[in-house]
Amino acid sequence: MIQFSPRLKALLSQNLLSTFVCIQVETLRLTTFYRDLILEDGLYMSTNIIDKTDRLQLNSIMDRDLYKIYFVDSAMTLASKFDSGLNGAAIQVLAGCVDQATNLPVTDRADMMLIYKGIVESYSYTVNTDVRGSAQAVITCSNLMASLDDAQPFYTSKDYINNINPGDTCFDQIYNGSGKIMLKWGKSS
């Protein structure tokens, strides 16, 4: 269950609610607030290219919806980030409120809502030729059950596994004799 801090509850009960979003993809930090913000994890640059983010939905116990973030990016400023390979990058989306009494953004992490935290599954550009200079970038994030959906084979080597986790020996048997291995999954019998 999501727990809100007392201050966040008070902010959400204001008559006028002004919100902003902070998005972090690897080292890139962007916010919809009108000026740059300093949060605990670094500086979030103010930008007007963030178009919208999906609302978080829970359709069932096993939610399979993908989470998407849309950018208006006619200048293709995100293209270099996309070209460097964004698949599998860590991504986090936070939502914050502006305190109407002080007219300042609340940047304490305890008083912000974590909307999404996961990895980038894919990214794309859509160029609209009807409107001159119109392009939309979309980052599609993995759903909460993404690891269970992965049915694609992947080819690896002992060196690849050592790059991920130097102490992992899961592929040692394949290269040392290739004997038959009996694995029991889920429960012991």
Work out the average pLDDT over 79-88: 79
Closest CA to 94 of 78, 81, 110, 83: 110
Q: Is the pLDDT of residue 136 over 80?
A: yes
Q: Is the pLDDT of residue 85 over 90?
A: no
Q: What type of residue is 152?
A: Q
186 against 22, higher pLDDT: 22
Banded model confidence at residue 105, pLDDT cuts 50, 70, 90: very high
Work out the average pLDDT over 14-34: 91
Banded model confidence at residue 185, pLDDT cuts 50, 70, 90: low
Q: Checking DSSP bridges between strand 42-46 and strand 28-31, what pairing results, if any? A: parallel
Structure tokens at 70: 């849309």
For residues 6 and 130, what is the distance between their CA atoms, to the nearest angstrom?
48
- In eight-state DSSP terms, residue 142 is P
How far is CA 93 from each of CA 26, 90, 112, 136, 149, rounded to the nearest angstrom? Answer: 12, 11, 10, 19, 23
Q: What is the pLDDT of residue 88?
A: 83
Whole-structure pTM value = 0.69
Q: What percent of the chain clears pLDDT 90, i.e. is strictly above it?
A: 23
Banded model confidence at residue 60, pLDDT cuts 50, 70, 90: low
Q: What is the pLDDT of residue 142?
A: 85
Structure tokens at 121: 């599954």
Banded model confidence at residue 176, pLDDT cuts 50, 70, 90: low
Instruction: List the domain boundaries for the chain.
Output: 6-145
**Residue 70, Cβ neighbours under 10 Å: how many?**
16
For residues 93 and 53, what is the distance between their CA atoms, to the nearest angstrom?
9
Q: What is the pLDDT of residue 3?
A: 79
